[in-house]
Amino acid sequence: MNTNLKISNVTKIYPGCVANDNVSLEFNSGKIYALLGENGAGKSTLVKILSGVIIPDEGNIYLNENNLKLNSPLDAKKNDIGMVFQHFNLFETLSVFENLIIDSDEERESLREKIDTIMKKYNFSIDLDIPVLNLSAGQKQKVEIIRCLIRSPKVLIMDEPTSVLTEQETSELFLSLKKFSEEGILIIYITHKLKEVMQLCDEVAVMRRGKLVSVSEIKNENIESLANKMVGQNLKTIKKKKAKTSSDQLIKITNLNFTSEDPFETNLMDINFSVNRGECLGIAGISGNGQSELFQVLSGEIISEKNSIEFNKNYIGDLNPQERREYLMAFSPEDRLEQAAIPQMKIFENVALNNFKSSNFFNNGLINENKIKEHSKKIISDFNVNTDNIDLKSQFLSGGNLQKLIIGRELITSPDLLICFNPTWGLDVGAINYIHETLIKINEQNKSIILISTDTDELLKLSDKISVIHKGKLSKIMNSEEVTSEKLGILMGGAN
């Protein structure tokens, strides 16, 4: 049976931002549709409207000519619209089966049979009786998909599903999605990754700043044309010049171990690497394989053995982040609003948090506001932060501007080594370009970078050497010219 989903003149306005501006779209089953756009383009709002999480200010949704009133996620479910969110809607401490039975009206046994049939049909293998927190991201996503399939949906919406998956898991997902589509489920695939759109979808709708920009068939598009539609301007491509190989070692990690008591954390096992001056070492991996623990060990949030980290001929393994900064290390953590900055504090106050003995931010225990403000203004102008109000609370900066501020704060003291963790996570293309340029500049000034990232393309673009972290172990360190994203993908999945 054919499914037809129509979005008609949907508008959703938030204070200070039009998330969806009169959007109309039509979908038919048998095809896979891509909804493409940058962060903040309004695609997430649109799918949340389709799944009943957000109620639109204006406009209607029609499924097979019926006007749907989607006031809650329950309404979407009842109308056979299934949704897999980017951030999983699972209960981590409940078992897989408990997660699935919670919104089902079926009896335990019949539901179990149904799940088994679904798993056999699509070649999923998941232990139903272990808690969800023990599953990998790919398995969690499968649980979400099973949850939708139990209700035999007419429409399946996938919101940025590959952001947590390996290359292998991604291709498995694509196979399943194609199978679903053949079986008559209408699939809407939300992403900002152009490669995936070309690989998977039949039609693509591009959104920009809340508006629908274009709807076209994939065969008439290519990656460049889609990128330009998405950003609305022609993008310059940046490329790193090959660094002169220097043999001047800056940091050396020897036999570093970390054992955590928290079952949610990953243990680090026998980490060894070194970085020379002017070099960028990239560390690839699927999130949750020990990256955040490695970052914390390197930054001093977790103290390790004194001799395990040698920086500039000093042993610093037992120093805290403040003391490490005095040795000219700088850090840009993954979570901008939780770890790098304090959202409720003003820009200049956040700048003052990165306090050095030499910076004279404090006199006899009192805050030297003028000095800090002067310093903050310099960061804002040097690093292109798009605001002139340093009294603004940091939470009102966009992700890109906040990241520029943080990188600026770290770099203004011209450190020898910058350690960053997913520096462009969640940023739009323009900001990503700016951060990438800045990082390349650091290397050109003979300073070093350790770049921990889950974005393979970013790593290949910026690194001189690359290693892969898997379950807390580092692979051998490779020259980046010898590496391809396929090879990284295989290593990220744990193979040798």
Partner 1 sequence: MIIDINFIGLIIASIMASAVPLILASCGELITERSGVLNLGVEGMMIIGAISGFALMTVTGSLIIAIFGAMLAGVLISTIFAFLTQTLITNHVATGLALTIFGIGISAMIGKNFVGIPGKEFPVLFEGLKDTIPLLGPILFGHSIVFYFAFALPFITSYFLKKTKIGLIVRAVGDSPESASNQGINVRLVRYACILYGGAMSGLAGAYLSMIYTPQWIENMTGGRGWIALALVVFSTWNPIKILIGAMIFGGLTIIQFHMQAIGVRIPVQFLTALPYIVTIIVLVVISRDSRKIRLSTPSSLGKSFHKDN
- Which chain residues interact with partner 1 by CB under 8 A? 51, 53-55, 72-74, 77, 85, 88-94, 98, 101-103, 131, 133, 261-264
Q: How many other C-beta atoms lie within 10 A of the C-beta of residue 235? A: 13
Listed in sequence order, the DSSP H helices in 151-288 are 167-182, 194-200, 223-231
Q: Least distance to partner 1 from the beta carbon of 147, Å?
A: 9
In 3D space, the residue among 434, 399, 337, 397 whose CA is nearest the CA of residue 388 turns out to be 397
* Beta carbon of residue 271, minimum distance to partner 1 (angstroms, whole number): 23
Residue number, 261 or 388, with CB nearest to partner 1: 261
| Shortest Å distance, C-beta 291 to partner 1 | 20
For partner 1, give the closer residue by CB, 57 or 202: 57
Tokens 């003028």 map to which residue? 370
**Which of 46/90 has CB closer to partner 1?**
90
| CB atoms inside a 10 Å sphere around CB 437 | 12
Give 17's strand partners. Answer: 14
Query: How near is the Cβ of 419 to partner 1 at its closest, in Å?
Result: 28
Comparing CB distances to partner 1, the nearer of 112 and 252 is 112
Beta bridge pairs of residue 81? 155
Is 288 in contact with 294 (CB distance < 8 Å)?
Answer: no
Output the smallest distance, CB 58 to partner 1, in A. Answer: 14
**Cα separation, 311 vs 351, whole angstroms:** 25
Is the separation of the CB atoms in 399 and 387 below 8 Å? no
Residue with smaller CB distance to partner 1, 133 or 238: 133
- DSSP conformational letter for 154: S
Q: Which is nearer to partner 1, 45 or 308 (CB)?
A: 45
Nearer to partner 1, 150 or 205 (CB): 150
Which amino acid type is present at position 83? M
402: Cα separation from own chain's centroid: 16
Helix axis angle for 167-182 and 485-492, nearest 10°, is 90
